[in-house]
Amino acid sequence: MATITDVANLAGLSRSTVSRVMNNYPYVSEEKKRLVEEAMKKLNYYPNSSAQTLRSQKTDTIAVFIPMLTNPFFSYLLEGIDAVATENGFRLLVCQTRYDRKTERQFFNLVKSKQVDGIILTSIENDWSTVRDYMSYGPVVMCNEYDHESNTPNVRLDQVYGGYIGTRHLIDKGHKKIAFCQGSFRSFISKAREAGYRLAMKEAGLQIRDEYAFRIAADYHDGKEVLKKIAAMVERPTAIFTGSDQVAAGIVYEARHLGINVPEDLAVIGFDDQPIAEMTLPQLTTIRQPAHEIGERAMKLMLNLVLPEEDAPPMPEEPLKLEIIERSST
Amino acid sequence: MATITDVANLAGLSRSTVSRVMNNYPYVSEEKKRLVEEAMKKLNYYPNSSAQTLRSQKTDTIAVFIPMLTNPFFSYLLEGIDAVATENGFRLLVCQTRYDRKTERQFFNLVKSKQVDGIILTSIENDWSTVRDYMSYGPVVMCNEYDHESNTPNVRLDQVYGGYIGTRHLIDKGHKKIAFCQGSFRSFISKAREAGYRLAMKEAGLQIRDEYAFRIAADYHDGKEVLKKIAAMVERPTAIFTGSDQVAAGIVYEARHLGINVPEDLAVIGFDDQPIAEMTLPQLTTIRQPAHEIGERAMKLMLNLVLPEEDAPPMPEEPLKLEIIERSST
DNA sequence: TTGTATGCGTTATCAC
DNA sequence: GTGATAACGCATACAA
């Protein structure tokens, strides 16, 4: 394993000069530059990045906290984050928290130990106070998920609006008994959407029933379970607003299985507009979330925090918006 | 930012002793150990990982090459890899190659620059000779994909068998005009499955037609395109073997769109048995690949290469097998 | 059981 | 333009 010293020796120059060549310093004669490059090639030299990191205090690596890698929504988020990261010479350390507070806390130590320059959170399990402690060690960017107690840099959409237009759509279709289904009672996104749901219901003078609220559905399987519970109700809702297309797909699937017609017996509205939304039968009406773009922006925001202004990518001006995509499940 | 020296000073001890406490060295008196721990806590000390890395030459980080993060099959693979990594205190640097040879080559430099201890490849774009150059810098493990020119440590299944049982299943259903559809003409997995397909066809004395072979379909969208091409044929195949449930789902979707009945007009068989396989209508007959387990094993294999034997997890004995899951698309 | 000294590979500062 | 030297923070061989 060749080091900079080996290169310097072979080229008959000092380590400083070699270093200067590597870092494209302005004042190096063409002659020596050539010498150094030859030596590097001959030795198949590659700089040791931990030494560089130790010296420069920069890792060019960002940690991305993801609750569940197999949830497609987060894959698209990650894909967007990755696109901007790669384009700017940054690497991604992927930290799957599995919705676990302790796991999440352990990953936070990555920034304490200077293993990453910053952290992008796509979900948050611990209380804000816990997270805040880590913020003095490096920048934290919230991506999609957020915390209203905090003023952390973040990229987010108006989720109250998302809950509102979804519910509103169902109301406009004539529904009165509308159920609401979200991923986590802890998530601020879920709370915001529920607020939008309640706003629309209230505006229309409709009753909000406790038994129509499901707050623990995150994936396809959960969706099936939700439908089973609905099927068992004496007085069933005629429509349901869900927090993800995965869940909605599970509902649609199980409904067909149990002979409940969508949308006649039960209108279903999804969230995200993932590819799965058009694979179900009937296809899902859904609220489109531009996951890739959200990820891109979060990474751009991060770069603006860790890079000198002139090197950071510009932040897009236009706000990201949720929009409803009408298909046949409503 | 406190360093080990700060801790040593505060505790009134030497840096060595502090280091020993951190690394759980056997011979440290309880007394000093307590002193050190107090000082660490008081200073909110956390060891600098690049310094540790530089010193120890170990990063406890593995790079995982993934062609496309949004392809669910790879999400499950990654999830399995992550499970074992986290359990053993390792981190994952995720490298999305986007099926690009140059991007892949650049990522290989991570191991050259000692930024990771090893690399897990879930796909391979460059020629074997290119990859081999990097193997002298650190262990490379092939996960699912492989290269028959190489003897790289790998985790893989009998894909010839996969192609065989899928095709055989279609033959047993009475089909004679069977199309074949795979992701990449470069992939060894694809080639192996095609070999299995050809074996089954030949065995049954059936004709293999060039126009029935599609070798560039990787996702849902590609599946739609394949179906369109089939629909335009004068003499259509009556069945199609595909390389992924994504592609199969696209075919099924587009078939319905164009009024082609599955399985009556066209039987479709997928691969992987992802959740999507039971979301389509009709549900997909498919060849189940235990993606999570494959990922787990690949990481275990990697740990056996980078860790001393006594610290590495045991390698499961039983071979991983492909099996056919019959549903209604065939 | 603990301390001293050295080096991991790089870059920045300061001379020349 | 180029080179010597120190420093980044830690862990280990060796001495005590």
Note the pLDDT tens digit of each residue in B238-265.
Answer: 999 999 999 999 999 999 999 999 999 9
Cα–Cα distance, B279 to A219 (Å, whole number): 13
Task: Please check whether residues B177 and B283 belong to one and the same domain.
Answer: yes
Q: Is residue B174 part of a domain?
A: yes
Task: Please check whether residues B231 and B298 belong to one and the same domain.
Answer: no
pLDDT under 70: residue ranges of chain A: none
**CB of A99 closer than 8 Å to CB of A123:** yes
Q: Which chain A residues are within 8 Å of B92, Cβ to Cβ? A: 93-94
Give, as ranges, the nucleotides of chain D with any atom within 7 Å of a protein CB. Answer: 1-13
Q: Give the predicted TM-score (pTM) of the model.
A: 0.95
Task: Please check whether residues B240 and B298 belong to one and the same domain.
Answer: no
pLDDT of residue A51: 97
Task: Please check whether residues A136 and A35 belong to one and the same domain.
Answer: no
Write phi, then psi, for B178 (nearest 5 degrees).
Answer: -115, 125
Task: Please check whether residues A141 and A245 belong to one and the same domain.
Answer: no
Task: Please check whether residues B6 and B121 belong to one and the same domain.
Answer: no
Task: Please check whether residues B118 and B202 belong to one and the same domain.
Answer: no
pLDDT of residue A244: 95
Provide the CATH number for the domain around residue A16. 1.10.260.40
Q: Is residue A15 part of a domain?
A: yes
Q: What residue of B is the nearest CA neighbor of A104? A: B86
**CB of A201 closer than 8 Å to CB of A167:** yes
pLDDT of residue A1: 84
Q: Is residue A19 part of a domain?
A: yes
Å from the A56 CA to the C12 C1': 10
User: How does DSSP classify residue A199?
Assistant: H
Is the per-residue pLDDT at B150 higher than 90? no
Where residue B304 falls among pLDDT bands split at 50, 70, 90?
very high
DSSP assignments along A201-260, one per residue: HHHTTPPP-GGGEE----SHHHHHHHHHHHHT-SS--SEEEES-HHHHHHHHHHHHHTT-
Task: Please check whether residues B225 and B297 belong to one and the same domain.
Answer: no
- Going B182 to B188 to B192 to B195, the CA torsion angle's sign is positive
Domain count, chain B: 3
**CB of A298 closer than 8 Å to CB of A143:** yes
In this structure, the number of other CB atoms found within 10 A of the CB of residue A102 comes to: 10
> Which token pair is A308?
């000198």
Task: Please check whether residues A66 and A147 belong to one and the same domain.
Answer: yes
Q: Which chain A residues are within 8 Å of B281, Cβ to Cβ? A: 256, 281
Q: Is residue A185 part of a domain?
A: yes
Instruction: Single out the residue of A57, A51, A3 nearest to residue B54, CA to CA.
Output: A51
Give the end of a domain, one of A28, A47, A66. Answer: A47
Q: Which chain B residues are within 8 Å of A276, Cβ to Cβ? A: 276, 279
**CB of A142 closer than 8 Å to CB of A118:** no
Cα–Cα distance, A50 to B4 (Å, whole number): 18
**CB of A243 closer than 8 Å to CB of A181:** yes
Give the end of a domain, one of A11, A26, A47. Answer: A47
Å from the A22 CA to the D14 C1': 37
Range of the domain at B7: 1-47
Q: Is residue A301 part of a domain?
A: yes
Task: Please check whether residues A171 and A235 belong to one and the same domain.
Answer: yes
Cis peptide, bond prior to residue A282, ω within 30 of zero: yes
Task: Please check whether residues B146 and B247 belong to one and the same domain.
Answer: no
Q: Is residue B330 part of a domain?
A: no
pLDDT of residue A285: 98
pLDDT of residue A175: 98
Is the per-residue pLDDT at B185 higher than 80? no
Q: Which amino acid is at A47?
A: P
Q: Is residue B219 part of a domain?
A: yes
Question: Between the CA of residue B315 and those of A5, B107, B138, what are the distances in Å?
Answer: 41, 28, 20
Torsion of CA B189, B194, B197, B202, to 10 degrees: -140
Provide the CATH number for the domain around residue A77. 3.40.50.2300
DSSP assignments along A28-62, one per residue: --HHHHHHHHHHHHHHT----HHHHHHHH----EE
Q: Is residue A329 part of a domain?
A: no
Task: Please check whether residues B83 and B184 belong to one and the same domain.
Answer: no
> Within 7 Å: CB of B279 and strand D?
no
